[in-house]
Amino acid sequence: MSVLEIVQWPDARLCETCVPVDEITPEIEALAADMLETMYAAPGRGLAGPQVGAMHRIFVMDAGWKEGKPDPLVCINPMLQEIGEDRVVSTEGCLSIPGVQADVSRPAQVQMMWTGLNGGRYVQAFDGFAAACVQHEIDHLDGIVTFDHLDAETRAILEAPYLEARI
């Protein structure tokens, strides 16, 4: 396993839609292991394929490890099946946009279906922070970043200094 370089905004790969994983190969298994190691080293709670330059529909997450409740998850070809009607606004950060935190409104509960590394199909309901994390990572697979959830004024206020600091 190795720690991978995290792709930083405004890299164009973060705006691309990822392709489905057709087969769980040793390369996909190694990618998942490297992504988990990278996520923990960052330290983050979720990491999607495009954030490490892998344009496949795969993400890893561990919503509870920072609170001493580790529960690593590898999600291949995830799809939201049900989306709750209630919404919640949470402050989100992103490993690909370091130093920026933004308030994002998302459904409070979702149900997701995905394939695990063992090839099994899983369905699970998520709420609270885990629901936001799942949605954030699926956004990455669809070429959506945190800035895309903001109105133009808020985006400009947060994005301009971030981009200026990268020059």
- Mean predicted confidence (pLDDT) in 56-60: 98
> Is 137 a catalytic site residue?
yes
Sketch the domain layout of the chain as residue ranges: 12-166
Q: Which fold has domain 12-166?
A: Peptide Deformylase (3.90.45)
pTM above 0.85, yes or no: yes
* Per-residue pLDDT tens over the stretch 121-166: 999 999 999 999 999 999 999 999 999 999 999 999 999 999 999 8
Backbone angles phi, psi at 62, to 5 degrees: -150, 90
Give the pLDDT of residue 167.
72
- Which position among 137, 153, 159, 164 bears the catalytic label? 137
- DSSP states of 108-142 as a string? SEEEEEEE-TTS-EEEEEEEHHHHHHHHHHHHHHT
Cβ atoms < 10 Å from Cβ of 34: 18
- Least Cα distance to 34 among 12, 14, 19, 54 occurs for 54
* Per-residue pLDDT tens over the stretch 74-118: 999 999 999 999 999 999 999 999 999 999 999 999 999 999 999
